[in-house]
Structure 1
Amino acid sequence: MALQKIEVKVVFLLGLALLSCGVEGTRRVLEGPDATVFDVTTHGAKPDGKTNNAMMFIRAWNEACQSAGPAKLVIPEGNFLAGEVFFKGPCKGPMTLEVLGTVLGKTDLSEYTTGVWIDFEKVDGLTVTGTGTFNGQGESAWPSKDPSQKSLLPISLKFQFVQNALVEKINLLNSKGFHMTVTSCNNFKLDSLTITAPGDSPNTDGIHISRSDLVNVTNSVIGTGDDCISIGEGNSDIGVSGITCGPGHGISIGSLGHPQDKDVKGITVKNCTLTGTTNGARIKTLSESNQLVASSIIYEDIIMNDVKNPIIIDQHYNSKSKTGSSKVKISDVHFKNIRGTSVSDVAVALDCSEANPCEGIELVDIDLAYSGARGSSLSAACSNAKATFTGKLSPVGCV
């Protein structure tokens, strides 16, 4: 019995030694048989809300990225201030970033030389998780934003050339510009996110997706000053479901038709609730656009609560500065089981291109009521749209 107690004590002490040992001053904690955990505080990061921890974050990421096997980078509880951060691959194994504390964006705009706050690039096998918050502190930058200025304020989180990824449970607050962009990514899932900014904050889209395929956004609460989710050009096989949206500009496809834009196909938006948004289910293309196709699009099982434009195709977006017709061909679009209330009397607006009319537009079981002045009724407006209306229809269809 005495020998067994000695053996147990030796094993315990050996375990403590393994937990405290490190390479180049970094504490490594074994998590399961393969994963290794790196804590940013061991690289000098300080949760005091004052120290710029950008370089500490980058050093910790680089060491984790180059370690053998799966690795986890942890931002523990506390307030960690940071300027531009670049989390770049390729890495030697799958990477996890676990955020437990609050990461605060520096307020000096001159420090953001690339237009991005935190950049993830060229990573295969990425998980971003935790209960923490990325607070862009955008309220300090929005007053300086001139509405006529074309350049955007820094994006909070940018994912570029990332594949086989999961981003879940984190909170994004008050981004200076877009809260998150997903560009040139593949097999990417976003789940259970909370994204929040005031309704009057400029260009603070929740999630913008472009040139990506097999992206799914699910079970998230998004309220910003622009689109809750914007699905841009070059996308295929994009799924959006279980989204609570508002305030904001709705769940939009577009705007499409910029130079070098590519086709969009296979977009499904289902089981979402939009409240107090300026738009609901929206497809928008630029006037005088280049030629491309947007097809195989479904908006289904959507609840609209006091939405200004519940169903809208706008092929004259940004027409104040351009007068020519859009060359984007919109076809095979389905709006199904959309119900709730509209604050405008035109609840369905299909404003398609004179040069390239919409085709294959289907509206099924549209049940919207007017929540504006008493005595007014809802209507639908169609222009250059080949559309069919079936099932329960309120408002009635248009030709």
Structure 2
Amino acid sequence: MASGLQRSGQANHGHTEKKDILVERGHISGSLQVTDHHTAPNHIWTTEQTNLLTFHAVDNLTLDGNGEIDGQGAIWWDCYNHKRCKTRPILLGFSLCNDLWVRRIRLKNSADKHMTLFQCNQALVDSVSITAPADSPNTDGITVASSNSTIISNCSIQSGDDCVSILSHTKNVTVTHSTCGPGHGISVGSLGKSERAKVEQIVVTNCSFVGTMNGVRIKSWQGGKGYAKGFLFASLNMTEVRYPIVIDQFYCPQGNCPTKPGGVAISDAKFIDIQGTSSEQEAIKLLCSQSVHCHGIYLSNVNLSWVKHTAPANATILNAHGTTEGMVVPRIQFSQPL
């Protein structure tokens, strides 16, 4: 076990002699403590898709402590920006882990994503701090994919990409009492690029966004298949967020994507008690495809103003159907029923 990773209780574990650490197929009856400050090698140490620290098929694991793991990402970001690195290591990865607790650790400057949860059930991530510069590429905070019953609470995430990203085949995710910024916001997706999307029962509540590109966002590719349904975004505070509320069925980060029929069906999304400011006049974007409209969109008690401007914020609505209740600023004009 690496120095500063301390075990309490009994565990069956192993680790490689490479730069990365793998713990797999064990039963943890206590916890692993992350203490002190740990840094990744400050050079390009792999050309493979890997994680610096991996937990695979380990049940009943608690990863706890006040320690920090520093990915030394700057050399990797430069390599990526100059198109010399096709793959970069993720800092901390969990796969096929059930009844997982990750608490109080600090993650910093990952080469790529900071933490990933893949095919995990009953995971709690609490009081975790993640920091990376706003211009660091693809340094998502926490990515959840193909997982069920995930809670992310009391976390502080600053990154160069999504603070939290929720990918396909994921359900029952709650993000609460957390802060995001800088970064790209809390995103569902992108969905439907190559897979049949399945996402449902996503809750984001009591979170703050400061200086992010987006607040809460659902994004999917044109021509995608599948569904994303059952969203509650509530009690959120936006401070100079470029686009606080976004549904985008035309996601195309590289630009110039050809028009395609079809799309991931997005429905039953509620936006309630969302306050604050946008840095662009277009505070709300609900952009849905002509062939697969968005349905069941609901907004209530939303008040967003365009920061440092007397002109009001506005909303862009395309092929989206729903209702509003109470005060909703900017005004929403939903598409007419089919």
TM-score, length-scaled by structure 2: 0.91
* Aligned match of 2:286: 350
SS in 2 for 1:141: helix
Structure 2 SS opposite 1:317:
coil
Partner AA of 2:142 in structure 1: I
Alignment pair present for 1:188 and 2:123:
yes
* Aligned counterparts, 1:239-278, within 5 A: 239-278=174-213
Match of residue 93 from structure 2: 158
Partner of 1:344, secondary structure, is: coil
Q: CA deviation at 1:358?
A: 0.1
Name the counterpart of 1:13: none
Q: CA deviation at 1:83?
A: 1.8
Query: Do 1:236 and 1:265's aligned partners in 2 also have CA atoms closer than 8 Å?
Result: yes
Task: In structure 1, give the amino acid aligned to 2:250.
Answer: H
* Equivalent position amino acid for 1:206 in 2: G
Q: How many Å separate the matches in 2 of 1:366 and 1:46?
A: 49
- Residue-by-residue CA offset, 1:202-231 (whole Å, 9 max, x unaligned): 000000000000100000110100000011
Contact 1:257 1:326 in 2 (8 A): no
The aligned amino acid for 1:66 is N
Tell me what 1:29 maps to. Answer: none
Question: Who wins on radius of gyration, i.e. which is larger?
Answer: 1
The 5 A counterparts of 1:11-90 are 40=1, 65-66=11-12, 83-90=19-26
CA RMSD of aligned residues (A): 2.3
**Distance (whole Å) between structure 2 residues aligned to residue 379 and residue 66 of structure 1:** 57
From 217, 241, 244, the equivalent of 1:307 is: 241
Amino acid at match of 2:164: I
318-327 or 147-156: which moved more?
147-156
Code of the residue aligned with 1:194 in structure 2: it is S
Mind listing any 5+ residue stretches in structure 1 that lack a counterpart?
1-39, 48-56, 68-72, 74-81
Query: Would you say how many aligned residue pairs link Structure 1 and Structure 2?
Result: 329
**Corresponding residue SS for 2:291:** coil
CA, structure 1 residues 149+216, in 2 after alignment: closer, same or farther (shift >3 Å)?
farther
Q: Does the residue aligned with 2:248 lie in a helix, a strand or coil?
A: strand
Shift of 1:287: 1.7
**Which residue is equivalent to 2:156?**
221
Match of 2:113 among 164, 174, 178: 178
CA contact (8 A) 1:84 1:111 kept: no
Q: Out of 78, 102, 106, which is 1:143 matched to? A: 78
SS in 2 for 1:145: helix
| 1:376 is the counterpart of 2:301 | no
Q: Say if 2:78 is the partner of 1:132.
A: no
Q: CA deviation at 1:377?
A: 1.6
Match of 1:331 among 267, 271, 292: 267
Q: CA deviation at 1:245?
A: 0.6
Inter-partner Cα distance in structure 1 for 2:12 and 2:66? 26
Name the CA distance, whole Å, in 1 between partners of 2:85 and 2:41: 22
- Counterpart for residue 316 of structure 1: 250
| Residue pair 1:243, 1:271 contacting (<8 A) in 2 also | yes
Which gives a bigger RCO, structure 1 or 2 (Cα 8 Å, sep 6+)? 2
Distance 1:185 1:94 in 2: 18
Tell me how far 1:258 sits from its aligned partner: 2.5
Task: State the alpha-carbon separation in 2 of the partners of residues 83 and 325 from structure 1.
Answer: 46
Q: Secondary structure at the match of 1:263?
A: strand
Q: Given residue 305 of structure 2, which amino acid in structure 1 is its aligned partner?
A: A
Counterpart of 2:104 (choices 169, 173, 183) is 169
Match of 1:230 in 2: 165
